Amino acid sequence: MDNTLIDLALESNGGRTLLTSDDFFAPKENLLKPGRGIFIEDKYTNHGKWMDGWESRRKRIEGHDWCILRLGKSGIISEVDIDTNHFVGNFPSHASVDACNMPKFSGLDEIIENDEWIEILSNVELQGDSQNKFEISSDQSFTHLRLHIYPDGGVARFRVYGNPDHANENKNKLIDFALADNGGEMISCSDMHFSHMGNLIKPTTGIDMSDGWETKRRRGPGYDWSILKLGSPCTIERVIVDTLHFKGNFPDSCSFEGCFEPKNKKDSFLKNKIDWTEILPNSKLAGNQENVFSLSQTLLHTHIRFNIYPDGGVSRLRILGRETS
């Protein structure tokens, strides 16, 4: 393999598993972690043997299992490695890979309904406890992949080697105005009993539940909220509420309000002297995933109020828009 290639899917490069048909025995998130995975002989969970990879149940119906992931860096793919390390009697017999090119923060419905998936690796046979490496012949840049395994089983790691396509990354790029690196700043919140609101605007992917914003359980009326100063005035096109790692304690729903107050100081927000305008009505959330909401509005905003109902935990908050004068 060319030593100049990088793993476009690696978690530390921004890669993210988004959806899978089944990960009963071992979670999909393991696919993009560093290393090849480890084996602990006597470690078990309530679901069965603990495995450091992605593992689905034994399929008793027609069909096969799959996992959709977003590359951390879009690019031209030269090689994939479907690593079945430590999977000996439970690895898939075959696999294939599809790819497509979509905006980075596309919603799950948009990804699933996309009819422009291209097969870049036809059905190939796999070996257990092995790095199964396959060359990819395509000069097209991709952002998302779909790994199919036939019919079921476990894969330790999935590596996607290629060259980043910086031109594609910057094409019609939306800016995350919540991001601390872009000047975003958390001003206030109703509660942060379990973890700090500042975690919401970190550039990295959340490590675990401590690396997010989590409020205590609400025993009375009301709801929790946080206020964010955007990096600069913008029109907002999408908001992403990432509940990664929050499976039994994510909020039931959320809403967003915005305002244009470039001259008001922090005290005005702390004293609740702001007239907020609704930009996303109360909307249901799902746990342990990116919840993507598209907005159709043209108002300029400098600050966002993020409301969660009634309480719970959120890993990251992304406010995507375009800068304007």
Q: What is the pLDDT of residues 153-207, one digit of tens each?
A: 999 999 999 999 877 666 667 899 999 999 999 999 999 999 999 999 999 999 9
Residue-averaged pLDDT of the chain: 94
pLDDT for res 272: 73
pLDDT at residue 65 tops 70:
yes
Rg (CA), the chain: 21
pLDDT at residue 325 tops 80:
no
Interval 239-256 mean pLDDT: 97
Interval 112-122 mean pLDDT: 95
Torsion of CA 85, 206, 215, 278, to 10 degrees: -130
Work out the pLDDT band at 268, boundaries 50, 70, 90: confident
Strands (E), 2-140: 6-7, 16-20, 44-45, 48-49, 54-55, 65-83, 94-100, 118-125, 131-135
* CATH code for the domain defined by 175-323: 2.60.120.260
pLDDT for res 159: 98
- How many residues make up the chain in this entry? 325
Query: 166 or 133: which carries more pLDDT confidence?
Result: 133
| Cα separation, 8 vs 32, whole angstroms | 10
* CATH code for the domain defined by 6-170: 2.60.120.260
Phi then psi for residue 182, to 5 deg, are: -100, 10
Determine which of 60-69, 172-181, 210-219 has the lowest per-residue pLDDT on average. Answer: 172-181
pLDDT for res 152: 98
pLDDT at residue 324 tops 80:
no
pLDDT at residue 319 tops 70:
yes
Determine which of 2-11, 62-71, 130-139 has the lowest per-residue pLDDT on average. Answer: 2-11
pLDDT at residue 253 tops 90:
yes
Determine which of 70-74, 135-139, 166-170 has the lowest per-residue pLDDT on average. Answer: 166-170
Residues of the chain above pLDDT 90, percent = 88
Helix (H, G, I), strand (E, B) or coil at 181: helix
6-170 and 175-323: identical CATH topology: yes
Work out the pLDDT band at 26, boundaries 50, 70, 90: very high
Torsion of CA 10, 11, 17, 22, to 10 degrees: 90
| Cα separation, 68 vs 23, whole angstroms | 12
Partners of residue 117 on adjacent β-strands: none
Interval 136-145 mean pLDDT: 95
Per-domain boundaries in the chain: 6-170, 175-323
pLDDT at residue 10 tops 90:
yes
Interval 141-153 mean pLDDT: 98
What is the number of helices (H) and of strands (E) in the chain? 3, 22
One DSSP character per residue, 259-323 reads: E--SS--HHHHHTT----EEEEEEEE--TTSEEEEE------EEEEEEEEES--EESEEEEEEEE
**Nearest partner of 215 among 296, 292, 312, judged by Cα:** 312
The CB-side HSE value for 217 (13 A sphere, CA atoms) comes to 3
Work out the pLDDT band at 33, boundaries 50, 70, 90: very high
| Cα separation, 225 vs 255, whole angstroms | 9
Interval 208-220 mean pLDDT: 96
pLDDT for res 169: 66
> In whole angstroms, how far apart are CA 8 and each of 11, 118, 151, 266?
9, 18, 26, 40
pLDDT for res 1: 66
Convert 195-219 into a string of H (helix), E (strand) and C (coil): ECHHHHHCCCCCCCCCCCEECCCCC
> In whole angstroms, how far apart are CA 281 and each of 81, 130, 217, 235?
43, 49, 23, 17
pLDDT for res 323: 79
